[in-house]
Amino acid sequence: MEMVNIMIDTRKIQVPKDYTVLQAARYANIDIPTLCFLKDINEIGACRMCVVEIKGARSLQAACVYPVSEGLEIFTQTPRVRESRKVTLELILSNHDKKCLTCVRSRNCELQKLAEELNIKDVRFEGETNIHPLDQLSPSIVRDPNKCVLCRRCVNMCKNVQKVAVIDTNDRGFKTIVGSAFEKSLADVPCINCGQCINVCPVGALREKDDTDRVWEALANPDLHVVVQTAPAVRVALGEEFGMPIGSRVTSNMIASLRRLGFKKVFDTNTAADLTIMEEVTELVGRIKNGGKLPVITSCSPGWIKFCEHNYPEFLDNLSSCKSPHEMFGAVLKSYYAEKAGIDPAKIFVVSVMPCTAKKFEAVRPELASTGYRDVDVVITTRELARMIREAGIDFTDLPERHFDDPMGEATGAAVIFGATGGVMEAALRYLVELLEGKPLEKLEFEAVRGIEGVKEATLDIAGMKVKAAVANGTGNARKLLDRIKNSDEQYHFVEIMACPGGCVNGGGQPIQPSQVRSWLDLRSERAKAIYEEDEDMPLRKSQDNPYVKKLYEEFFEHPGSHKAHELLHTHYAQRENYPEE
């Protein structure tokens, strides 16, 4: 790699010639403040917080977009630079809703942090401010334009990464606002509720719809039997909310916290993930043997499902009819569990703790109420659970060891890896190979479908048949894969798609990390690493070996794909409008 010699604040260093000044400063452990910058997503030099002085240049330059060159001399802390940053920050603050104490991002706000670091004591430019109504109609996402700093991170995430493009900048100058076409609510445009916009927002302009009050009310209601289930990705991210390293596995702490909050039972969504594999693989084999519609495309990600309904309705028949695992579990809890425990299903209140904001939308879909009651009553995110734990005064890092509750407290490693992109595919292959070949699988790891690449493919020889599989994470990559399938004569058998880049570990409800972390550390890989470690430590690693799932079929569903299983564990989808109408 070709290197260049530069000087930053009198320090001589060598850096790759394709670096920006910001990258070079980071290489030299010199901190330059940023606000709009997000590596590989938003590198537009718009906010002007990262300005530096370049020897020989008349004006200050944005470090995030200015390229290095041989002999370049850079100054990051001159009086001119410091004053420019302060003035810029004060101007941003002058048109910002400064209700910081009651903001969901208090203590985790990049604007707040900059104000502290730059020693802002007062705002000298108070004047006219824009006041906009909140958009609260979506069941998943709340948009507050009054806190928006026009960094455009959310715009570029939605438009360029997810390829959904339901938000952009409207109007010009002082009246510029980030919003949807025709000033529509996010509820009235083809938003897929993935929440990736929330994860990249530096302030509180985007947040999940908070449902914690509904959970507190249920917990306080003596007439309700309130149970909770947790997704695999939650246990490898929740610790971040309490200062623990990224990728910490906090399963026991999480269970103990939920018990302290007052839930009657704490269940593992992984049990239903094992159930999903049994149903989904049975569906796949049935289609292969009977000439059904191929490829079968996984249906665990509600953001992907809504994306498909809006943008690729021609693939709706390819979707597996399986409900997502937590919705399956909700149906099981209000049928099998209710019957075994002798509880009126009307009294069972199911709370799902998910890494995903799209599951809030999923929970209110009318077709997900197969017992006559809504499968899942409330979905809260990893962040919302953390807020409840803090509100209850629980010391998350000092709790006794706890395990998930019976009668459905055991799951396998195959279920755990649902949290990472490629995990559903790998879990399914662990069952598919044994089912078709009729013998135990020797090697459980399918490396070809692991990793954070946008699209991965694998061709496997199973029982003398070439099975072609593909995995896509992020709906931008889903577009690439689906267009490839449409325009190719090659036959795919099984496809996994997750709406969020990296899968559920990077879901829209996971702990928010600032640009200084997200830009230089791959959260997806760190959290996924913990997922795979948990899989390796599990005593059972194949869904078909889960004794609780076996018992469930023996006592209730009879066999995978049965009539009763289809009544309770499967669903359907329909085409949706793709563009808002004026």
Catalytic center residues = 280, 283, 300, 320, 359, 362, 367, 504
DSSP code for 21: H
Burial of 132: CB neighbours in 10 Å, binned 0-12, 13-18, 19+: middle
Spatial distance between the Cα atoms of 281 and 447, rounded to a whole number of angstroms: 19
Instruction: Classify each residue of 301-327 as buried b or exposed e, where b means 16 or more C-beta atoms within 10 Å of its C-beta.
Output: bbbbbbbbbbbbeebbebbbbbbbbbb
**Three-state SS for 570?**
strand
The span from the CA of 232 to the CA of 380, in Å, is 14
CA distances (Å), origin 172, targets 135, 150, 177, 178 = 20, 11, 8, 11
Q: What is the DSSP string of 448-493?
A: GG-SS-SEEEEEEEETTEEEEEEEEESHHHHHHHHHHHHT--PPP-
Alpha-carbon gap, residue 326 to 332, rounded angstroms: 10
23 near 67, Cβ under 8 Å?
no
Give the tokens for residue 99: 């209700």
Q: How many angstroms separate the CA atoms of 307 and 75, rounded?
A: 46
DSSP 8-class letter at 107:
T
Phi, psi torsion values for 387, nearest 5 degrees: -65, -40
276 touches 322 (CB < 8 A): yes
Q: Quick check: helix, strand or coil at residue 228?
A: strand
CB atoms within 10 A of CB 39: 16
The token duo for 267 is 């269940």
Contact yes or no for 74/21 (Cβ under 8 A): yes
- Residues 388 and 211: their CA atoms lie apart, in Å, by 11
- CA dihedral 350→355→356→357, nearest 10 degrees, is 80
